[in-house]
Amino acid sequence: VSMKEILCDARKNRYGVISLLGGNLEMVIGHIMAAEEQKAPLILTFTQEVTPKVPLELGMPMLVNAAKRAKVPVATILDHGDSLETVMKAIHLGASAVMFDGSTLPYEENIQQTREIVRVAHALGVSVEAELGSITGSATGSGGFNAPVLRPDNSDLKAASTDPEQAAEFVERTGVDALAISFGNVHGTYQGEPNLDLDLVGDIYSQVDIPLVMHGASGLAFSQYPAIVASGISKVCYYTAAGIRAANDIHRM
């Protein structure tokens, strides 16, 4: 299923779609069962950083085959791809979407590399997500995929935020289908209270015509998600809290 179609409908009708990590088969089945129960679309994510012992060649086909069996629309995406080579591998393995993360590159280089990936992916019918602004932290930490990391102090996040005018230019010059933005959100678990700039999200939403993506949605109160979606976010990436909860349950067995 096309991620672009799922997210464009979400943007048009102002609802959010959750993106969940497919770390193993049990998690994937659970994610799909929950989506089917809610009659909601779903995006299944493969992130090499989070599951370093699961090769892309094994992980992505697992997601793709599970998505085909689902009774609701399910897209599959490579998360935080760092090169054209990795992105192409995911596409050949059946991913319906890829994310290229060039956020640490100089702005013009991010545009250049993202535009090339968009050109190749679109020719193959694959959606592309990119990132602009610095979403710091990690979903892993040194202890492996179950180990949380502390997020930077919120006072450091302002400088990393996505600029609305730059976002508009980036979208126009690259042709991406979705854009991950930085507005106080970071990967991992919070150090202190989260300080999300939802006014900034609204400003970016008004400047671009594609769905916006939030990475780093763990650790928030459930009451915060409606406001996040209402501000203009269409895709919500959620993993760390679920991974910690699953690991704790296993340890108790």
Q: Can you tell me the mean pLDDT for 63-89? A: 96
Report the share of the chain in percent with pLDDT over 90.
68
Q: What is the CATH number of the domain that holds 81?
A: 3.20.20.70
- The pLDDT value recorded for residue 194 is 75
Domain extent, residue 69, equals 3-252
Q: What is the mean pLDDT of residues 174-185?
A: 94
pLDDT at 150 over 90: no
Give every CB contact of residue 180 below 8 A, 6+ residues apart in sequence.
99, 101, 103, 129, 130, 131, 132, 135, 212, 213, 214, 215, 237
What pLDDT, in 10s, does the model give residues 86-125? Answer: 999 999 999 999 999 999 899 999 999 999 999 999 999 9
Mean of pLDDT values over 217-235: 92
Residues assigned a catalytic role: 79
Number of structural domains in the chain: 1
What is the pTM (predicted TM-score) of this model?
A: 0.89
For the segment 180-194, the average pLDDT, to the nearest whole number, is 77
Q: What is the mean pLDDT of residues 14-27?
A: 93
* Matching residue, tokens 């100089």: 106
Whether residue 36 has pLDDT greater than 80: yes
Q: What is the pLDDT of residues 124-142, one digit of tens each?
A: 999 999 999 876 665 554 3
Q: Do residues 130 and 105 lie in contact, with contact meaning Cβ atoms separated by under 8 Å?
A: no
| Model pLDDT, residue 252 | 80
Q: What is the pLDDT of residue 204?
A: 98
Residue 229 and residue 14 in contact, taking contact as beta carbons nearer than 8 Å? yes
Mean pLDDT over the full length of the chain: 88
Q: How far apart (Å, rounded) are the C-alpha atoms in residues 97 and 83?
A: 14
